[in-house]
Amino acid sequence: MKIIVLMGSPNRNGSTGILVENFKRGSEEAGHSVEVIDVCHANIHPCIGCVKCGYEGPCVQKDDVEMIRKKLLASDMVVFATPLYYYGMTAQLKTVVDRFCAYNSSLNSRHLKSALLTVAWNSDDWTFDALEAHYKTLVRYINFKDCGMVLGYGCGTPGMTKRSRYPQEAWQLGKDL
């Protein structure tokens, strides 16, 4: 299986990256190919709502979204990886998701598998409620098949994350695909 991870953390060496690396390792051990796209350091602009794409491209903006589009449409799975920022995904990852608009029908017809990897400092039981709802709605709307979520409660620093059970859960999620 070909897996694309949309890495939505601006901190390349942070807690989200720890989950991504463990997921990648587990997936590759299971025989899958994994490519991580660092959306935070890519040239990506917000959707301007012009609808010149007709919801099936091409987008009038000339940025890295075209590369992401090609890779997603050639993959079998997409993984959304993000730290929790004010109870949602990062703005950088949300910008990429918003730009799905330009190839919505193609994404829908692919029936991609998907997963969510996320971390937060907070460890209250409601910490991920809004992000989970957003992810589940996205999965339903775009006709993805959810393969699981790793919700890293209490992962405020890389040290906290490394000492938690969540890197192992990310590895296991990848390994079990």
Instruction: Kindly report, residue by residue over 45-93, the tens digit of the pLDDT.
Output: 999 989 888 888 788 999 999 999 999 999 999 999 999 999 999 999 9
pLDDT at position 59: 87
Pair of tokens at residue 93:
């990852």
Q: What is the mean pLDDT of residues 14-33?
A: 98
Q: What is the mean pLDDT of residues 116-143?
A: 97
φ and ψ of 59, to 5 deg: -80, 145
The structure's pTM equals: 0.97
152 contacts 164 by C-beta, under 8 angstroms:
yes
pLDDT at position 168: 98
Task: Name the pairing type of β-strands 33-38 and 113-119.
Answer: unpaired
* 9-29 residues labelled b (16+ CB within 10 A) or e (exposed): bbeeebbbbbbbebbbbbbee
Structural domains in the chain, CATH included, are 2-175 (3.40.50.360)
pLDDT at position 136: 98
pLDDT at position 55: 84
Q: Tens digit of pLDDT for each residue in 55-65?
A: 887 889 999 99
pLDDT above 90 (res 16): yes
Q: What is the mean pLDDT of residues 91-107?
A: 94
Query: Minimum mean pLDDT among 13-27, 50-64, 101-115, 160-174: which range?
Result: 50-64
Q: Tens digit of pLDDT for each residue in 155-176?
A: 999 999 999 999 999 999 999 9
Beta partners for residue 146, in sequence order: 114
DSSP assignment of 65-110: HHHHHHHHHT-SEEEEEEE-BTTB--HHHHHHHHGGGGGHHHHHHH
pLDDT at position 132: 98
pLDDT at position 57: 75
Arithmetic mean of pLDDT over the chain = 96
